[in-house]
Structure formats: structure tokens, C-alpha cells
Amino acid sequence: MQQFVDETGQVFTVSTLTGEIKLLLESEFEWVSVRGEVSQPQTSRNGHLYFTLKDSGAQLSCVMWSSLRQQLDSVPGHGDEVVVSGSVQVYPPHGRYQLIARSIRATGLGALQQAFEELKRKLQAEGLFDEDRKRPLPAYPRVIGIVTSATGAAFQDMRNTLEKRYPLCEVQLYHAAVQGAQAAPEIVRGIRHFSDSGEADLLIVGRGGGSLEDLWAFNEEIVARAIAECRIPVISAVGHETDFSISDFAADVRAATPTQAIVVAVPDRNDLLMRVGDLQYTIERRVTDQLQRHKDTVSRFLDNYALHKVKQRIARQAEMLAWQKKQMAGILQQRIMRIRDQNRHLTDAISALTNRYLIQQKSQLGELHYRLLASDPNAPLKKGYTRIHQNGKWVRSGDRFDAKIPFEIEWVDRKTRIS
């Protein structure tokens, strides 16, 4: 093997140089953390995780042994931004170096995606996304509640679509921030407002498109639980068609866009008009057919001999009924006359009995009055007699009168005390 000598005369073999590089790198980078984007992650049969960590200027081969990979909550996916910590190792047979990963931590969009997946798994395990919890939407809602930003294009699009599609429905907006730190609490307050007030038949929660960070309020746990607890059906309409949020899974229905939420929520008036027209035509045709069938049936009956016999019998029965009615009227008139005569006799008898009774009562009353006057205790006083009272008692005999104590003399009109 030909050897090349540098200016100092020192010559390295490949193994020697590689060994020196290995010693230098592994001692210098015994523990290092590197940020980059995951590319082409693969898990081998024995469970080792191989991937490339790259940025705009370079690539770094990485491996995480199976014992450490099994401890990961989730394996990073292609395109995830992560921070990998570990040691640099040189592999002499291939003359390359790689990072032996001991921990992988998501960052940036990768951290958000990881948080998204963790919350999704948690709520799914609780049954929050179960299909048997989903409620059907009302076929013809009278009022739709919307929780979104009043200044966003999404609300204007929804209102314009509703006006064109089903103007009979009323919209009530609860303004809420749809991104930022205060967005999730305000969205929750809006959901609870419509849930508690009963003002709407249906609720739409959402916003227009944006980055994952912009849409993150709809991935908050408090928003998902508020949607699940809402007393009226909820449509989640967040971002664009390819965007999925936690609120989409918690809601009764997921709409690809806010405009699509209106299409899902209400029928198209043109379809309704066509349906009404079809129903009107169907009803008119059925009524016309039934009338014609009844006319045909009546015509057949009118031409039937048996029907003529029935008509004759009905006519005879009507004549008999009229004669019986006349007879009954005469009998009833006679009975009324007899009852009137009986009533008149009874009235005269009652009047005579009443007069006799009154005369008897008047005679008895006169006799009682005479007896009452005769038994008047003051009658002797009225004739000039007097009474003598001692100690508040009427002295009826002389042997009861005591001349030594005061007494009263009672005339008809006054009393005089004698001491």
C-alpha cells in the first residue's frame, strides 16, 4: 500500500486516523443535544429506531436502541421537529459518525402535535369521542348559535351562506377570540351560554384556516369537554378541510370548513321548494285519481237495480216516519193539555190550603199576643200600683219588709229611694 507523507513526515493509516477522530469526537461530544427535523424514521426487527436528523444545511444519522425506544410516549414521525440528546459515536468500518440518542423531545410544531395526540388518546379512552354519544342534528333548526370571532371572515361566510341557503333560520353570535391565550376560556363561555340559555336549537363552534398554533384553542381540553357537555347538538368547523382538531372529535358532527357547517346544519331552500312541488303534484294526482274512482263507483251504484229498490224503501220509510211524527205530535199535544189542567187544579188546591193555613196561624198569633199582654209584669204599675225593692229584691209581702233599712219605690216611669 502506497503511503503519502506530509511536510512533517508523519503518515497515518486509515484505521489510525479514524481512531484518532473517534477518540476526539466521542470525548468532546460525550453528551450533546441537537435540534433538527426527523427524516425517514424506521424501526428495525429488533426494535432499534433509526432516523436522520437534518436542517437546511446538514444531516446527522441517529439511532436509539430498543431499550430506550420502548420508553418513548410516542415515536417521532417524518417531519417532526425534535431535540435529540445523546452522545456522538464513530463507526470505523463505515468511516462515519452517528448520534446515539438517549432521549427525544418534541419541540415547536412537533411539541404541539405530540400534545394533540396525547390529549386525543386521553379523551378517547374516556369515551368522549364515542359514536353512541353523538346526537342527530335538527332537520329544520329555527335558531343557530355560533361561537366565533365577530370580525373574522368565517362568520361572514357562514351568515352569507345561510341567507342564500335557508333564510328562515335566525343566527345568534357569541363573539369569542379564536386564537391566543384567552381564546379557549372565551370559547367555553360561549358554548355554555347557548347550552344553558336554550336560545338555539343547534350550535356551531369554529373559525377559518390558519397554522397549528393559530388553531390550537380548539385543541384545548376545556373546549372539548364543554362541547361534550353541551345540551344542544354541536358542529365543529375549524380551519380547512385537511385540518383536524380535538373539538372535531368531541362534537356531534365535524364540518370541513365553517361554510360547510352551514351546509350540514340547514337544508337548501331550492331543494325544499322542489320537494314541496313534487309533494303538491303527488297529492293533486292522488286526490284526482281517488275522486275519479269514487265517481265511477257512484255511477255504477246509480245504474244498479238494487239501488233503486233501496231508494224506494227509504222513501216509504220516510213517509212512515213523517206519519208517526205527526201522530206523536198530536198525542204529545193532548198530554200537554191534560198536564196543564192538572197543574191548574193543583194550583187552586194549594192556594186554598195556603189561605186556610195563614188564617189559622193569624188566629194563633192573636191569641198569643193577648196572652202576652195579660202576663205583662208591668201591667199593675201602668194601673197606678207600685213595687217596693230592698237589697235589689222585690218585696212581695209585708212580713218580708224591713223598715229599718233603705228601700226603693218603683212606679211605672221611675224609681224613688227612701233611706
Q: Give the rounded percent of residues in the chain with a pLDDT score beyond 70.
A: 95
- Split at pLDDT 50, 70, 90, the class of 185 is very high
* pLDDT at residue 222, rounded to an integer: 95
**Who wins on pLDDT, 342 or 259?**
259
**Who wins on pLDDT, 349 or 186?**
186
- Split at pLDDT 50, 70, 90, the class of 33 is very high
How, if at all, do strands 96-106 and 143-148 pair?
A: unpaired
Phi, psi of 51 (to 5 degrees): -160, 170
- Split at pLDDT 50, 70, 90, the class of 330 is confident
Render pLDDT for 123-138 as a digit per residue (tens, 0 to 9).
999 999 999 999 999 9
- For the ranges 3-7, 42-46, 180-184, 186-190, the lowest mean pLDDT is seen at 3-7
Is pLDDT of 47 > 70? yes
- For the CA atoms of 404, 406, 409, 413, the dihedral, rounded to the nearest 10 degrees, stands at 180
- For the ranges 117-131, 311-325, 354-368, 387-401, the lowest mean pLDDT is seen at 387-401
User: How wide is the angle at C-alpha 409 spanned by C-alphas 408 and 413, nearest 5°?
Assistant: 120
- Split at pLDDT 50, 70, 90, the class of 303 is low
Is pLDDT of 5 > 70? no
- CB-based contacts of 248: which residues, under 8 Å, 6+ apart? 218, 236, 238, 254
Residue 403 to residue 399: CA distance in whole angstroms = 11
Closest to 62 (Cα-Cα) out of 72, 73, 76, 74: 76
Residues across the chain: 419
Is pLDDT of 2 > 50? no
* pLDDT at residue 417, rounded to an integer: 82
Cell of 335: 198530554
- Residue listed under C-alpha cell 192538572: 342
* pLDDT at residue 28, rounded to an integer: 87
Confirm if 178 and 217 have CB atoms less than 8 A apart. yes
Is pLDDT of 377 > 50? yes
* pLDDT at residue 333, rounded to an integer: 87
Is pLDDT of 90 > 50? yes
Residue 110 to residue 139: CA distance in whole angstroms = 41
- Split at pLDDT 50, 70, 90, the class of 236 is very high
* pLDDT at residue 1, rounded to an integer: 38
User: How wide is the angle at C-alpha 29 spanned by C-alphas 26 and 34, nearest 5°?
Assistant: 130
Helix (H) or strand (E) holding 91: strand 81-91
* Span 81-89, average pLDDT: 91
* pLDDT at residue 34, rounded to an integer: 94
- B/e letters for 98-136, b = 16+ CB within 10 Å, e = fewer, are bbebeebebeeebebbbebeebbeebeeeebbeeeeeee
* pLDDT at residue 195, rounded to an integer: 95
Residue 121 to residue 128: CA distance in whole angstroms = 10
Render pLDDT for 150-178 as a digit per residue (tens, 0 to 9).
998 999 999 999 999 999 999 999 999 99
* pLDDT at residue 50, rounded to an integer: 95
* pLDDT at residue 4, rounded to an integer: 47
For 94, 190, 282, 292, the CA distances from 289, given in Å and listed in that order, are 91, 55, 11, 5
State the CB neighbour count (10 A cutoff) for residue 207. 27
Helix (H) or strand (E) holding 167: none
- Split at pLDDT 50, 70, 90, the class of 411 is confident
Mean pLDDT of the chain: 87
* pLDDT at residue 9, rounded to an integer: 62
